[in-house]
Amino acid sequence: MEKISALYARYVIDGIPQELSPGEMLDECLASKDWRDTPVSAETILDETVDPQPRGGSFDSWRIRDYLALTGNAPDRELPVLFSAPYTKILIERALIDAVWQEGHFRLGDLILRAEWTWDLGRIGNAAAFHASAQAASEILTGLSLKLASYGFTEGKKCDLHLSTSVFGDEYEAEEFQLELPYRTAHPTFLPVRRPTLAFVDDPDSWLIYIPMDNCEFRLGGSLLSDCLQQGGDIAPDPTDPDYFIDCYEVLREMVEDNVIIAGATVGEGGLLTTLKKMASAAGDKVGARISLGDLMTASGEQDIVRLLFAEVPGVVIQIRDEDYDYLDAEFMLQDVVFYPLGHPVHGKGEIKVDASGKSGIQTILESIIRSQSSEGED
| Model pLDDT for residues 318-369, shown as the tens digit of each residue | 999 999 999 999 999 999 999 999 999 999 889 999 998 755 554 444 444 3
Question: Which pLDDT belongs to residue 366?
Answer: 41
User: Which domains, and CATH codes, for the chain?
Assistant: 1-48+102-190 (no CATH), 195-379 (3.90.650.10)
Q: Label residue 372 by pLDDT band (50, 70, 90).
A: very low
Question: Which pLDDT belongs to residue 223?
Answer: 95
| 141-150, 167-176, 244-253: least confident range | 167-176
Query: In the chain, what's the furthest Cα-to-Cα distance?
Result: 88
Residues ≥6 apart with Cβ < 8 Å to 73: none
Radius of gyration in angstroms for the set of CA atoms belonging to the chain, rounded to a whole number: 22
- How many helices, marked H, and strands, marked E, lie in the chain? 12, 14
Encoded amino acid at 40, one letter: V
Q: What is the DSSP string of 49-116?
A: --PPPPP-S---GGGHHHHHHHHHTPPP----GGGHHHHHHHHHHHHHHHHHTEEEE--GGGEEEEEE
Q: Do residues 211 and 315 make contact, with C-beta atoms less than 8 angstroms apart?
A: yes
Q: Do residues 282 and 363 make contact, with C-beta atoms less than 8 angstroms apart?
A: no
The total of other beta-carbon atoms located within 10 Å of residue 377's CB is 7
pLDDT mean across residues, the chain: 88
pLDDT tens per residue, range 291-310: 999 999 999 999 999 999 99
Q: Label residue 52 by pLDDT band (50, 70, 90).
A: confident
For residue 39, is the peptide bond before it cis, meaning its omega torsion is within 30 degrees of 0? no
Say if residue 172's pLDDT is above 60.
Answer: no
pLDDT tens per residue, range 80-136: 999 999 999 999 999 999 999 999 999 999 999 999 999 999 999 999 999 999 999
Question: Which pLDDT belongs to residue 38?
Answer: 58
Residue 117 C-alpha from the chain's centroid: 18
What Cα–Cα distance (Å) separates residue 282 from each residue in 31, 94, 198, 249, 315?
37, 20, 7, 24, 19
Burial-class residue 115 by CB neighbours within 10 Å (0-12, 13-18, 19+): buried
Q: Do residues 40 and 187 make contact, with C-beta atoms less than 8 angstroms apart?
A: no
Residue 348 C-alpha from the chain's centroid: 29
Cα(317)–Cα(266) distance, integer angstroms: 7
pLDDT tens per residue, range 142-159: 999 999 999 999 999 999
Say if residue 178's pLDDT is above 70.
Answer: no
138 φ/ψ angles, rounded to the nearest 5 degrees: -60, -40
First to last CA, the chain: 84
Cα(106)–Cα(146) distance, integer angstroms: 14
